[in-house]
Amino acid sequence: MGGPRRAVEPGAAIRSGAEAGGRPREPVSVTMATASDIDRIAELEELAFGPEAWSRDLVAAELTGPDRRYFVAETAGRFQGYAGIFLGLDSAEVMPIAVAPDRQGQGIGRRLMEALLAEARTAGVGQVFLEVADGSAAAIGLYRSLGFEQIGRRRAYYQPSGRDALVMRLTM
């Protein structure tokens, strides 16, 4: 999603985060991202996507770009994740989404996706698209649970990993 650079390596840190399981003790707050979030979003982007992460400059351009909406999730005032969506005339595209490794599997990604889909509904688009790296079980499970269906595959879409992207679509 968000261009041919997504790398979703389900690495050890991410697995150990998922193993923490359960819902967060503190309530999750999801709010619109601002320019003050650029650094922490760029840091998590790097942690989540490694060599295929967006640069800080690209994160900054995205956050302030037209027709984009980015959200941050916090628990007890601590940054835990972010997600964005591009709103076109008839359709929308989910951009990056990532949750801090030690807070994954606690419902935060779902809350962020719900915020994006609420934006898509408000904008009145008929369809929402996304790309996700093949084999990214948590992300694919999240998208399927929200009604996304696979409609295609882009071979070797992610570089340098060479992983395929699955193209998914949600009809609103």
Ligand X SMILES: CC(C)(COP(=O)(O)OP(=O)(O)OC[C@H]1O[C@@H](n2cnc3c(N)ncnc32)[C@H](O)[C@@H]1OP(=O)(O)O)[C@@H](O)C(=O)NCCC(=O)NCCS
Question: CA 65, CA 159: separation in Å to the nearest integer?
Answer: 24
Q: Is 145 in the site for ligand X (CB under 6 A)?
A: yes
In the complex, the smallest distance separating the C-beta of residue 125 from ligand X, rounded to whole angstroms, is 19
**Does 110 sit near ligand X (CB under 6 A)?**
yes
Of 30-38, 63-71, 116-124, 141-149: span binding ligand X (CB under 6 A): 141-149
Active site residue 158: no
Indicate if 131 belongs to the active site: yes
* Stretch touching ligand X by CB under 6 A, among 32-40, 104-112, 114-122, 147-155: 104-112
Stretch that binds ligand X, among 24-32, 33-41, 137-145, 149-157 (CB under 6 A): 137-145
Q: State the burial class of residue 40 (Cβ atoms within 10 Å of its Cβ: 0-12, 13-18, 19+).
A: middle
Residues binding ligand X (CB under 6 A): 1, 6, 8, 14, 18, 48, 97-99, 104-110, 132, 136-139, 141-142, 145
